[in-house]
Structure 1
Amino acid sequence: MASSIAPGSAPPTSDPGRTRYRRRLRFALVALASVALASALALSTRFSAEAQVQAMSEWDGANCDVQIPGSWASSSLLPDPFTKLDGSKVTTRSQWECRRSEIKELAERTIYGDKPQPDSTTGTVTSSRITVNVSDNGRSTSFSASVQLPSGSGPFPAVIVYGGFGADTSTILSSGAAVVNFDPATVGAEGTPRSNKQGAFYTLYGANSTTGVLMAQAWGVSRLIDVIEQSGGSILNNYTGVTGCSRYGKGAFVAGAFDQRIDLTMPIESGSGGVGAMRSIAQESGSQPLSSAYGEQPWLGDAFSAYTGNPAGLPVDTHEMVGMIAPRGLFIMDNPHVEWLGARSGAVAALGGAEVYKALGAGANISYHSNTSNGTHCAVRTDWRTPLQQSINAFLKGSGTPPGVISMHPNKSANLAQWRNWTTPTLGAGDPGGTTTPETTSPPVETTSPPPTGSGCTARIEVVSTWNGGWQGNVHVTAGASTLSGWRLTWTWASGQSMASSWNATVTSSGSTVTATDVGWNGSVAAGQTRTTAWGFVASGPTTLPAVTCAPD
């Protein structure tokens, strides 16, 4: 039984479908180097190429040989996304594919339960409805979803909307995307005991399946995508997004993490069991406890009962689910005014997962927004309308640029440095010749000081993204002739500029003068080397790069 498993050990798998699932998976290997485009190419070109690869497979790492250990170490810090189960470090994008599969397997094993691949999925797509018929191991089931088309001529990209609650469907439609109204209860119903789960998923895999409702519903989203892909593209094309609010935000997040064909994931106010980092939820006063999220509904897999009181025993956390979505589009929306929703923990997971995006050279493809004044749960907010439109245009229509903003509410901001002791690599293509060519969607790095020649240091600011009224910057620190054990940076803002938020540094301001120091783990820089993204910040005002002074600290 899952409840008898000691935290930090791997729970057994009782679902007989796991072995069949692994045996039936098929994967056509596509070398990542063949799709890695030069950083100078426009975002729309990169987006199109990446989306075509993603659409080939529900899970691109299905051929990876993942061996889950019998136990793992506990830690109160967020696990390192870039350290494989064998202890080696991820250094290339091709290695990341299999590391992502390790994370997926661990998450299924300990948090969500298995997501099986059925024998057969068929169905139809009309201008008003999608029907889905699924067969597996001699059993069959079916469900459907209604469709709303935008004005104009198709085929259209589609956003699968969980439950029709809290999502800004009018903006989705006016942006030129169809709305697929998905009732997740038809696939994984709430209000049922764990021993008698109901819905299309459990019709196939048994009412006592250890898979939780969130993963069952994500399985349903994948079957909708199967049918859309088979339909020939006359009504809906193969560009797909998913969104939902509250419990449906939890579902949308899981769906995006576990199906790489989803081009844009948009969870809204998902709370505990959603985006929020589980280690942080346990420490965030007023947020829904993990035991409550586990007990309220059978959302999470049965095995999670071993970790409700000890999230430090988990081998993964939700920042790695965020990383599983990378480099695809992700727009996380949080409500900082309802304590139960744990917005600070959502920011922790977003910042942690954003490191995977940065490592893949796609830092602009993730956005997090909790800096809103309206506290009504699942309200349609004007604050989110523009970044929602930008996300749909960039990831579903291949035009324009994504919002690329981390905007945390001052009362629910997070500091990633408190939650990690690992660093972020730059992952190259990893071609057979051994060279690495990072792919990036960010503007070119601008150097604010000359290369170091003495024992001091220099710093430079990279503009990650800009928007009306603000911008996001990463700061890179380079050591001089001597190794740094710590650094101190100062600069003076131009007129109209100010610091909105920051992470991975201790920052003080006096008027327009800013001082930033390392937070320990990111202070050491070897002689002549550069610590990329030593820290990051969001600034208000014009994108005028200040002159940065760096000194050993």
Structure 2
Amino acid sequence: MRTTGRSKSRPALVVLTTLALAAAVVVADVPNAPPAHAAPFVEAVENVGADCTFPSLPAAASNSRLPDPFRRADGTRITTKADWRCQREQTKRLMEQYVYGQKPAKPASVSGSVTSSRITVNVSQNGRSTSFSANVSLPSGTGPFPAVVVYGGFGADTATIRSSGAAVISFDPYAVGKEGTGRANKQGAFYDIYGSNSQTGLLMAWAWGVSRIIDVIETSGGSILKADATGVTGCSRFGKGAIVAGAFDQRIALTMPIESGTAGVPIFRGIAGEGAQSLSSAYGEQPWFGDAFGSYTGNPNNLPVDTHQLVGLVAPRGLFIMDNPHIANLGPRSASVAALGGAEIYKALGAGGNITYWSDVADGSHCANRSEWRTPLQQNIQKFLLGSGSSQGQMRISSRAAGSLSQWADWTTPVLTDGPTPTPTATATATPTVTPTPTPTVTPTATPTATPTVTPTPTPTPTPTSAPGGCTATVSLNSWNGGFVATIKVTAGSSALNGWTTTVTLPGGAAVTNAWSSVNSGTNGTVRFANAPWNGSVGAGQSTEFGFQGTGNGQGLTATCA
């Protein structure tokens, strides 16, 4: 069932009722879309609210509900669309302070070049300099072209991007912020400028790198690539990077994170309840988060922000979130809540049609190119990068992992007026109505339940095993009926590792279907996983992680490292 139009007075909280049928999908058009000619809503500068000042910012305080994205530090709520500029800046600064670390402003000197095959970036600041580059692949036709920055070549289908008329910029985030390093010894182009002990995490460092690419495109003359029509995408850890990049640079017209998991789209307050990767695991796996987030991995309720506000930082620009309801470790239920909460910000700004969340997919493989996403990908590129489409955003939430915003939010969405005069009281407006098929049931106190076939079962106490060679392998498991995801931490002993191999013995009937951050040999029985090109070097006492998805029952699998 689809809903359109505007309700004059409805609660702003979305309530989802999950059907028992695994195939059921929540589908809703998001109302209040602006006319097509208003897209892509990009700004001329990286951050339009940089001049906003605040007597104080909201302090950390225990709150099990999602913070009100429309509330100022003094307790008042914004009332006009113009108010959003500084309200957005307040949220941005909170995200920097508590979650990702500071994103510095544009450095004193950014230069480089753009050709039909490559972008070079040179940066200087305070006597320090660095450089990095990215490959370019143009579509057919005559430029200048819009472009999508693809993290690590691992994001939305690049063939579809190019056939839709946009160039692909292959961005190596590890050149800007390297994984596998300690927090006091961060490496890469960002840390060349701001120091190896910077408290800014990798996700924000990668976002800084994307912004510097846009800087160079802006000064390149515009004969090859358009500076005001840039998108960004990535999957898994690169999906985390994509949503952060889009949130912190208002020149990005279209943001497309895929299966981002913890530290990406899913709400921090919800992931523990669905067996997703824990905050402490994500914080320790790699320095993705800023250093300050370590104080909140065990108590996210104390954070004055959550990721529905990260989603809102992208508003009103184009946002297409792609998710996987089949892997609980990715936190898809919590991601749907973040998307629904962020959609309220879009709606308040009159841009509800500019956000899409899509977890209605049949294939559970991690980071697969899915046929279900091809058409909306084309539509988003047309609308936000080419300016030739008018498709409306949708909430296509699989009932396998359907979250309820009303369970997490106790605030309503104000009607933000166009004029500068504030109104005394905020009034709720229409919510993107999310109606499961075939029985449209909306119950204010409903709590979604998982389908019988998908029950995340995290293994609470992983057991490390070791082998000669000075390293250990620790296994963590998330299982459901018929499948599982294994995350394996490889930790070096007293000596550094220069390459490693982990041998995994699978239970009978179990098989590997997909692996990441490793190169596997075999799919069942005894399977060997070697390091990927970027995570073979592990310092003494340091760790790196890889993972794989499997079919069957993964309980009892063992791993040794050499």
TM-score, normalized by length of structure 2?
0.70
Q: Is the counterpart of residue 246 in structure 1 residue 236 in structure 2?
A: yes
Residue equivalent to 1:205:
194
1:19-34 mapped onto 2 (5 Å cutoff):
none
> How far did residue 227 of structure 1 move?
0.6
**For 1:177, which of 141, 166, 178 is the aligned residue?**
166
Query: 1:116 maps to which residue?
Result: 104
Is 1:188 the counterpart of 2:177 in the alignment? yes
Q: Is the 8 A contact 1:390 1:403 kept in 2?
A: no
1:274 has 2:264 as partner: yes
- Specify which of 319, 325, 328 is matched with residue 339 of structure 1: 328
Q: Which amino acid aligns with 2:329?
A: W
Structure 2 residues without counterparts, runs of 5 or longer: 1-30, 449-562
**Contact kept? 2:33, 2:350, Cα under 8 Å:** no
Matched, 1:43 2:32: no
**Alpha-carbon separation, structure 2, partners of 1:222 and 1:234:** 19
Taking the TM superposition and a 5 Å limit, the aligned residue runs for 1:286-297 are 286-297=275-286
Cα contact 1:130–1:144 (8 A) shared by 2: yes
Partner of 2:76: 88
Q: In the alignment, is residue 72 of structure 1 matched against residue 60 of structure 2?
A: yes
Moved over 4 A (4+): 39-42, 433-436, 472-475, 499-508
Specify whether residues 504 and 222 from structure 1 end up closer, same or farther in structure 2 by C-alpha distance, changes over 3 A only. farther
Structure 1 residue 86 displacement after superposition? 1.1
Greater share of residues in helix:
1
Structure 2 residue corresponding to 1:351, chosen from 330, 340, 345: 340
- CA distance in 1: counterparts of 2:443 and 2:376, whole angstroms: 22
Change (3 A) 1:503 1:137: farther
2:121 touches 2:216 (CA, 8 Å); kept in 1?
A: yes
**Does the Cα contact within 8 Å between 2:257 and 2:321 map onto a contact in 1?**
yes
Q: Please point out which of 53, 67, 86 is paired with 1:98.
A: 86
The letter for the 1-side match of 2:37 is T
Amino acid at match of 2:85: E
CA distance in 2, matches of 1:66, 1:404: 34
User: How far apart in 2 are the matches of 1:187 and 1:101?
Assistant: 25
Contact 1:416–1:504 (8 Å) recurs in 2:
no
Q: Partner of 1:198: helix, strand, or coil?
A: coil
For 2:38 and 2:243, locate their aligned partners in 1 and report how far apart those are by CA, in whole Å.
24
Residue aligned with 2:203, SS: helix
CA contact (8 A) 2:58 2:73 kept: no
How far 1:256 sits from its partner (Å)?
0.3
Aligned to 1:418: 407
Q: CA RMSD in A?
A: 2.5
Q: 1:180 to 1:249 in 2, by over 3 A?
A: same
Name which of 139, 142, 145 aligns with 1:156.
145
Taking the aligned partners of 1:261 and 1:102, their CA distance within structure 2 comes to 19
State, as a whole percentage, how many aligned pairs show the same letter.
60
- 1:132 aligned onto 2:121: yes
Inter-CA distance 231–428: structure 2 relative to 1 (3 Å threshold): same
Whether the 8 Å CA contact 2:33–2:392 is kept in 1: the answer is no
- Measured at CA, do residues 179 and 503 of structure 1 come closer, stay the same or move farther in structure 2, by a change above 3 Å? farther
Gap runs ≥5 in structure 1: 1-38, 437-459, 465-471, 476-492, 509-553
Is residue 79–residue 422 contact of structure 2 (8 Å, CA) maintained in 1? no
> 1:68 touches 1:106 (CA, 8 Å); kept in 2?
no
1:340-391, CA deviations, whole angstroms, 9 ceiling, x for partnerless residues? 1010010010011110001011111000011111000000000100111110
SS at match of 1:350: helix
Greater relative contact order (Cα < 8 A, sep 6+): 2
Q: How far is 1:502 from its partner?
A: 6.3
Verify the 8 A CA contact 1:408 1:501 in the aligned structure 2.
Answer: no
Distance 1:239 1:139, change over 3 A: same
Does structure 1 conserve the Cα–Cα contact (< 8 Å) formed by 2:276 and 2:328? yes
The one-letter amino acid of 1:249's match is: G
CA distance in 1, matches of 2:241, 2:366: 17
**Cα deviation, residue 71, structure 1:** 3.5
The answer to whether structure 1 residue 283 and structure 2 residue 273 are counterparts is yes
Q: How many residues align?
A: 413
Secondary structure in 1 matching 2:134: strand
Cα gap change, 1:93 to 1:193, in 2 (>3 Å): same
For 1:217 and 1:262, locate their aligned partners in 2 and report how far apart those are by CA, in whole Å. 14
Structure 2 vs 1, CA of residues 293 and 174 (structure 1 numbering), >3 Å: closer, same or farther? same
1:426 is displaced (CA, Å) by 1.7
When normalised by structure 1's length, the TM-score is 0.71
